[in-house]
Amino acid sequence: MSDTLELTRDLIAQPSVTPEDAGCQPLLAERLGKIGFEIEKMPFGDVTNSWMRRGETHPLLVFAGHTDVVPTGPRERWSSDPFTAKLADDGMLYGRGSADMKGSIAAFVTACERFVGANPDHAGSIALLITSDEEGPAVDGTRRVVDTLEARGEKIDWCLVGEPSSTEEVGDVVKNGRRGSLSAKLLVRGRQGHVAYPHLARNPIHLALPALGELVDTVWDEGNEFFPPTTFQISNIAGGTGAGNVIPGELSIDFNFRFSTENSADRLRQRVAAILDAHELDYEISWTLSGEPFLTASGELVDAVAHAIREVTGRTTELSTAGGTSDGRFIAPTGAQVVELGPVNASIHQIDERVRATDLDTLSEIYEATLRRLLL
């Protein structure tokens, strides 16, 4: 195995289900410390975070990632132990975290080792921001580290997040932004009663349906050249006592917006309230903003990554903002340029998560080429 695959294997062997790090970050710190990185532990709550930096000057290029993984699911359904990396005859490396995102983290480290070995007096600084709280609540992880860095005036210029961005071949897609995510829990109140005497009750399901229909049919924006239109999706509805002859007294609805830079969380909240009020509902609503949309449309980082992919693979990459959220949403608001580049994402969070082994070596070469373009 290559150095990148060996390190990936060692990381997969640590059962780091959110929020556990299970010893992954000390493995990274040991290797990076040998090439001049200063290691700073930043634990918050139950979360393990590390800020590992080489150099004190700008520009500062940060590789960001997470050592935590999602639960395995039924282990008996895996073709091999999910926490023992298996290199199959077809060239695929199996194991929880192989694609999301221990493989990327290993590629970060080996790229830095080769780059620093060849260029010990490189310009600027390199850092790794690693957390064990990306797959979970994401409260005490990257968000808290970034707050700490901002409070002491430590600014990130460029950030490359190792999320699995590729679709068919490594480097074919780079995420240069993400949609915002805004969720709500809506409670509509009525009056419980007997179904045979509806005039004595107020059915919250009947009352809410016209408003929900309007929310579903509303065009929130048209999107733009980088983002599709904002979407509204209802994920859960619950109402009723379980009895067939009782009108319920309450209806609860969960819904989510994935929104573009054409919109904002405040504007969406206001428009939802206006619709609910227009239908004269008795309601209460609570909101959770997971992150505002961000976009790195152009600049040194996008150009460097695109050139590095072309240099290593010959491919012309596609810029995309599709998909869910990532920890980039906590870094971009600081003014940093942020992109996401990692392996193929076809098997992430699945039984038998896997990645083409040679893709991790390719990814390490792309990261190294990015370092050369930005820091030489």
CB atoms within 10 A of CB 254: 14
Alpha helices in 159-290 (DSSP H): 204-217, 265-278
Q: Which residues are catalytic?
A: 68, 134
Give me the phi and psi of 63, to 5 degrees please. Answer: -100, 120
d(Cα 311, Cα 230) in Å, to the nearest integer?
Answer: 35
**Tokens 């929880």 correspond to what residue?**
96
CB 257 within 8 Å of CB 231: yes
d(Cα 184, Cα 181) in Å, to the nearest integer?
Answer: 10
Exposure on the CB side of residue 199, measured as CA atoms within 13 A: 0
If we measure between CA atoms, which residue out of 65, 84, 73, 70 comes closest to residue 18? 70
CA distances (Å), origin 197, targets 202, 239, 246 = 10, 18, 10
- Specify the length of the chain in residues: 376
Sheet holding 125-131, edge to edge: 38-41, 49-54, 125-131, 60-66, 158-161, 337-340, 173-175, 318-320
Determine the distance from the C-alpha atom of residue 215 to the mean position of all C-alpha atoms in its chain, rounded to a whole number.
27
Identify the burial level of 320 via C-beta atoms within 10 angstroms of its C-beta, where 0-12 means exposed, 13-18 middle and 19 or more buried.
middle
